[in-house]
Amino acid sequence: ALAPRCGWVLPGLEQRLAVPAVVSPATARPYAAAAKTAKKDAKRTRQEKVKDKPPPRRRLLMTKPVDDVYLTWLYRRPSYELEQAVGMLKKFQELDFTYPKQLVYLDVFLDMALQKKKKVDPFSSSVALPHRFTDEVNKVLVFTENEQEAEIAREHGAAIVGGVELIKWILEDEIQADFYVAVPAIIPKLIPLRNKLKRKYPSTRRNSLGSDIPKMLQFFRECHEYTVEDENIIKTRIARLDMPTEHIIANLKTIIHDICTFKPSNYDPIVRRLVIRSATSEGLLLNLDGILPQVQKVEEKEEKNAVDEDQQKPVQESVST
C-alpha cells in the first residue's frame, strides 16, 4: 500500500491499480451463502415439524363439580329447569338482601338461519302478557277523521287523536308515540309516514289497523314490546322477582311462543339458548325442554295419522266388497 507513495512500482502492480477490484459478497464472505441456505433449511424443517405435530388435545370439560369451590372453566355450564331457576333467583335475593321487587330479565339467543344463505330478518313484536308487572302505560296515537271515533278513542285512553294534520308534526318530530293505530278509512292518506314510522306504521299484520278502536287501545296501551338486537339476541324484562313463580313462568313462555312464530316450524327452532337473571344476580342457563312449543311433533303425529288412515282405507273397502 506504501509503494505508490514512495515511487516504487512492483511488476504487475500498475495493472492491479488501474482496474478497480470488484469483490462480490460471496467472495468477501465465503460462508454467508452457505449459512443463509442452512438457516432456510432449518426454518423449513421447523415448519414441517409444526405441521406434523398433532394439534393439542383440549381437556374434556367435566359435568358436575363435587366441591363448593371449583374452577368454572373446567366444567360445563350447568342448565336448570325453568321452575328451579326461578326458585334460585328468589333464593339469591334473600341471601344477598337485595331489592325484593327487582325486575327479572330474559336473554334469548336466536338461530336466524334458513335454507342456503337466507335468514330471518331482525324483528320486533308486541305481546300481551298474562300477568302485568308494571303500572306503566304505553302512549298510543290514533289516526281517524271521524269525530265519533275520535271521541271513543279519547274515552279509552288514547294519548293523541287526529287526522292528516298530524302528519307534519310527526315528520318534524314534534309528536311522538310508542304505538300508532289507525282506522281503514284514513290509511291511504298516511302513506307519507311509511318511511318515518317503519315498523310502527299501522298494519293489519300488527293488529294496529282496524275498526275496533277500544280493542286496539287496550292491547297497545298494556302490551309488552321486544326487539332483536345485534342480529340474533333479544334482551327483555319479563316480570318482577316478587311475583309468584307460576306467573313468571307464564310470562316467559308467552314471549317465547311469540318469538317462535317468526320462523317456520319445519326449520330448526329459532330459540337456541335462554338465560334468565334478575337485576342483581348471575345469569342462569335454562333447559329448553318444556319451554319451546311442540309444533313440529304435533305435525308429525298428524302426518302419521294421515298415513295410517290411507293404509286402512283399502282394507275397509275390501271388507265392504
Least confident of 74-83, 98-107, 161-170: 74-83
**Banded model confidence at residue 74, pLDDT cuts 50, 70, 90:** confident
pLDDT band at 321 (very low <50, low <70, confident <90, very high): very low
pLDDT-derived band at 222, boundaries 50, 70, 90: very high
Model pLDDT, residue 77: 84
pLDDT score of 12: 55
Closest CA to 272 of 263, 281, 65: 263
As a whole-number percent, the residues of the chain with pLDDT over 90 amount to 64
Q: Check pLDDT > 80 for residue 232.
A: yes
- Between 4 and 291, whose confidence is greater? 291
Angle between helices 147-155 and 213-222 (to 10 degrees): 40
First to last CA, the chain: 129
27-36, 120-129, 308-317: least confidently modelled range? 308-317
Query: d(Cα 100, Cα 240) in Å, to the nearest integer?
Result: 8
Between the CA of residue 246 and those of 87, 127, 146, 252, 292, what are the distances in Å? 11, 18, 44, 10, 17
Give the confidence band of 31 by pLDDT, cuts at 50, 70, 90.
low
User: Which structural domains are found in the chain, ordered by start?
Assistant: 80-122+231-292 (3.30.190.20), 129-226 (3.40.50.790)
CA atoms within 13 A on the CB side of 175: 20
Q: pLDDT tens digit string along 236-293? A: 999 999 999 999 999 999 999 999 999 998 899 999 999 999 999 999 999 999 999 8
Structure-model confidence comparison of residues 223 and 47, the more confident one: 223
pLDDT digits 0-9 by tens, 183-201: 999 999 999 999 999 999 9
DSSP 150-213: HHHHHHTT-SEEESTHHHHHHHTTSS--SEEEE-GGGGGGGGGGHHHHGGGS--TTTT-BSS-H
Residue 143 contacts residue 183 (beta carbons within 8 Å):
yes
Place of cell 287523536: 161
Look at residue 97 and tell me whether its pLDDT is greater than 80: yes
Q: Which residue has the cell 300477568?
A: 131
Residue 100 pLDDT exceeds 60: yes
More confident residue, 65 or 245: 245
Average pLDDT on 15-38 reads 56
Distance, CA of 108 to CA of 274 (rounded, Å): 5
Write down the mean pLDDT value for the chain: 83
The per-residue pLDDT for range 33-60, each reduced to its tens digit, is: 566 666 666 766 666 665 666 666 556 6
Neighbour tally for 5: CB within 10 Å: 7
Say whether pLDDT at 316 is over 50.
no
Q: Is the pLDDT of residue 76 over 60?
A: yes
pLDDT of residue 36: 65
> Would the pLDDT of 129 be above 90?
yes
When pLDDT is averaged across residues 13-25 and rounded to a whole number, the result is: 52
Identify the pLDDT of residue 312: 46
What pLDDT does residue 75 have? 78
More reliable by pLDDT, 70 or 302: 70
pLDDT score recorded for residue 71 = 76
- Give the predicted TM-score (pTM) of the model: 0.70
Q: What's the CA gap between 234 and 226, in Å, rounded?
A: 7
